[in-house]
A = this chain, B = another copy of it.
Amino acid sequence: ASGHVDRFQDYMVKDLKNGECFRADHLIENTLEKMLTDKKVPDETKEDIRKILPTIDNMNKHEMGETLKKFNIKSPVTGNDISDPIDFNLMFATAIGPTGTLKGYLRPETAQGIFVNFKRLLEFNGGKLPFGGAQIGSAFRNEISPRSGLIRVREFTMAEIEYFVDPHEKDTFPKFDLVRDLKVALFSGTLQMDGKGPQEKTLGQAVADGTIANESLAYFLGRIYLFLVKVGIDTKKFRFRQHLPNEMAHYACDCWDAELKTSYGWIECVGCADRSCYDLTQHSKATGQKLVAERKLAEPISFINELPTFDYNYYLYSQFCKVNKGVIGKVFKTEAKLISEHLSGLASEEVDVIDKTLQGKGEAEISIKGQLFTLKPDMLSVSRFEKTIHVEEFTPSVIEPSFGIGRVMYSLFEHNFKTREGDEQRTYLALPPIIAPYKCSVLPLSNNAELLPFISQISRDLLNFDISHKVDSSSGSIGRRYARTDAISIPYGITVDFDTLKEPNSATLRERDTMKQIRAPISELAEIVRDLAQQRRTWDNILSTYPVFEQQESTK
């Protein structure tokens, strides 16, 4: 139903001699980029290439084939001739069951499960819109050439939200005010085609001037931005890029990618599309199940003795037409089932025509699969009564934020891998406390047995607050152990030293990025770390509350 079996594909080309495969768009891009730096390539060709490069994502199969021929592109490995672009479906196929005849595929995205469950989710939400479903899990795409670490892999973790909205209300999203004044870098389709760069603009402006299609979509762009900033993305390496017309699925109104800059270039990490009512409509067509919501009509509408002329057919049908199977059975015998099913499947306008003919002529002729049958008035009773309609049905639109978790993770690693100033140039990983796997390290200054009970006490206190932490009681200078915890991005470190033995027991707390330390009573440390890790207090606040400590770091 989703169309993936027919259309989820990339174009690939084959080395005509050894059969090696390449992704057509990547091959064009890489070859043209190399040509730009080649002194032998004439200037007018380079000019041409500069115009073509930003349009590659927009090319169809034919245009790719033409471009490959135009620049006489060969296999980059062997220099052999290559084939025209070939469709290559990216789904992994398998066979289900013992007979091997039932074909199945690994999901290439997590979204479809949410559409399949739409009716249940709507019911769970009391029939009200808007609401969203979210899912995280593995997805599988048979990439033609996986590469670039976590960036292009064949099995990856994906997280998707399908947020269902009334299409009449897409332009006035209730929570839009939360993000209206957020300024973000927007690289619209127009700017791309004009060869320009992204523009900073508030989301409110972007909706107002038509850059972003509607408030609902813009709201989720805002939330994506806030999420990425919260987990530690560098805002200077962030932009939203709009899909070009050919790049976008034909049913989508608008689609933007959150792109993050890495050493591999700008990488699409989160997509966000307004997919209109496409998915629910497709699933509905394939299954015959209605996947709709209801909206209250501003004015109720009444129908007296006639059928409504617009889209209430499905809803009202059972009220208007009853097939009399008994009579049909007696008259038509073995054909009766065929006729009954045909009548039950008619649209209400068609029933209306038959009914009026029956009333006028006393009989009506219908044709089923080329056979003619004559109906009598007692075979079909069409009730006509007053009916007041308070709601109308519609297929919700869906806004789909879709996160490539591995790509976000990879970008986080690059954006947060830092080097300290000074001679040693020590490196550390500055992940925000909220996503650092360990929030705190617990280190005895030495192996002295008197210090160990305090280590156990602190570890128990941290566990009580559900704070993940790592005790490192290995030998090695405290500076070396701090460096080790910095390398795995532990934001806070508690060190028990010989002053701890004095009453009241205290220990030091060090923050990873500033390397500053304070001294606080042991009984308060776990709560301080909890508040810091959950962003209830800032490190500045702690620094101004407790005495600063300045000795340990240099201790060898």
Contact = CB atoms under 8 A, between A and B. Distances in A.
A138 interface: yes
A97 B141 CA distance: 10
Contacts of A104: 92
Interface string A81-111: 0000000100011111111000010100000
Interface string A6-32: 000000100000010100000000000
Contact of A142 (B93, B96, B142, B154): B96
Nearest to A101: B19
Given A19-B99, A138-B137, A106 B88 contact: no
Contacts of A88: 98
B98 A144 contact: yes
A144 B98 CA distance: 5
A93 B96 CA distance: 10
Given A99-B19, A138-B137, A138-B138, A106 B126 contact: no
Contacts of A21: 97-99
B137 A98 contact: no
A95 B93 CA distance: 7
A45 interface: no
Interface string A368-390: 00000000000000000000000
Contacts of A106: 94, 106
A474 interface: yes
A99 B137 CA distance: 27
A169 B97 CA distance: 44
A20 B126 CA distance: 44
A19 B97 CA distance: 13
Nearest to A97: B142
A123 to B, nearest CB: 12
A137 B137 CA distance: 9
A70 B227 CA distance: 66
Interface string A142-167: 10100000000010000000000000
Nearest to A466: B534
Contact of A93 (B12, B94, B154, B474): B94
A12 B98 contact: yes
Among A88, A96, A98, A154, the most chain B Cβ lie within 10 Å of the Cβ of A98
